[in-house]
Amino acid sequence: MTRFRLGRPRYAEQRCRSLDAISAICAASIVLVSCVVVQPHNGSLKNPMRIQTVTIDNFRPRRDDVGSIIDAHDGCLQFFAGRYYLYGTAYGKSSRWSINNRFRVYSSPDLQHWTFQGELLKSPQDGQYVRPYVVFNPHTRKYVLFYNWYPKFWDGKTGVAISDTPEGPFTVVNPALDLSQKAFQPGDGSLFVDEDGTGYFIYTVIGQSHAVRVEQLARDYLASTGKFSQVLAINCEAPVLFRRSNRYYAITGRCCCYCSEGSGARVFTASSPLGPFQERGNINPSLVNAPPTIAAQQTWVAQLPGEHSLMYIWMADRWNSAEDGIKGHDFQFWSAPLQFREDGDILPIENRATWEGTLAAGQAVIRRTSPYFWPKKHDPHPLAQDPCSGQPLDRARFDGLE
């Protein structure tokens, strides 16, 4: 087992943005080992922060404080106001194509004890909902949720919602954000907040052969500035964007559509979030006639806060991996900290069953007594075929009603 110890971040404390923390989901089992006391990492904490050593296990499901397997996929995990928040799509027992897929959030002080905090969206329109990403806007002091949804396939739209708290519920501000490529059906996307508080959205454009672009957001993150990058790649999904030192990294993989074999992780770098970007390799490569090293599809690159620096953790969903066949129980792979060469390039990811790291312990909160729930209902127009495989869908499972 390899051990990694975190150090004190070098970034400025006055940047007023929350730290991205862990993006991960049900397959990473975490065991608390030890704690020490360190100073806080940003202005969000008034008291000293504890450090804890945890063991990450990629082959056991994570459970909440009532023993249920956490159902939160293709999303992110953030560190807000001294606590970890895990956001994701809950698929339940559905066949994945259901108007009853919903966005959920769990929280934890220590990455070991998870509490279900509720479901996210108030009064959403009927459709297929995936990929919820939440960031904190330091200008408006609001939590902002971006998500991808389809009123019908493949008419992709990017929705935006806001909340005063990280657990929501979030109120929809715009169900169809006016992105520069709106007319070409936006697909998968995720959020990035730079050190100066500027927000960006990296996303695929379905009508342009699943082209990947980066777009700059308005100060409140509720609209686009109209500034966007060139096409980074085509035939790709699940892009993410992050910064390390003065270099910006965009990572994406080939179109997977809930595939079991997984997709790669092509890396692009630039000195500006809008590029120009240069491709720098694939950190989840495939051998000839073989699947990628990690049979999973990327969802996030998490930044874990620690004593002296950040650890960058690549997160990916292992679709169709649940032993009981329940979609909501699919596992997720959580990489050991990404390793960077002196020139800034990322070394390939290793397929490690477990690894150990030292990171910040969060604050305890009182459990919410009445979590918000997204009302379930029967789909009046269920799909007959799987949009990915073309295979007939099991109508009994389509609704996702339990």
Query: Which CATH number covers residue 178?
Result: 2.115.10.20
Q: What is the pLDDT of residue 40?
A: 35
DSSP class per residue in 6-52: -----S-GGG--PEE-----TT-EEEEEEEEEE--SSTT-SSPEEEE
Domain holding 175, by residue range, is: 3-398
| Residues near 227 by beta carbon (within 8 Å), at least 6 away in sequence | 215, 216, 274
Q: Residue 297 belongs to what H/E stretch?
A: strand 297-305
Report the C-alpha gap between 210 and 388 in whole angstroms: 14
For the chain, how many structural domains are there in total? 1
State the Cα torsion 341-347-353-356 to the nearest 10°: 10
pLDDT average per 10 residues of sequence, the chain (402 residues): 44 35 38 38 47 87 92 93 92 84 91 89 90 98 97 92 95 97 96 98 97 98 98 98 97 94 96 98 86 94 83 93 92 93 96 90 71 80 79 64 47
User: Is the CB of residue 106 less than 8 Å from the CB of residue 90?
Assistant: no
Q: What is the pLDDT of residue 366?
A: 60
Report the C-alpha gap between 263 and 318 in whole angstroms: 10
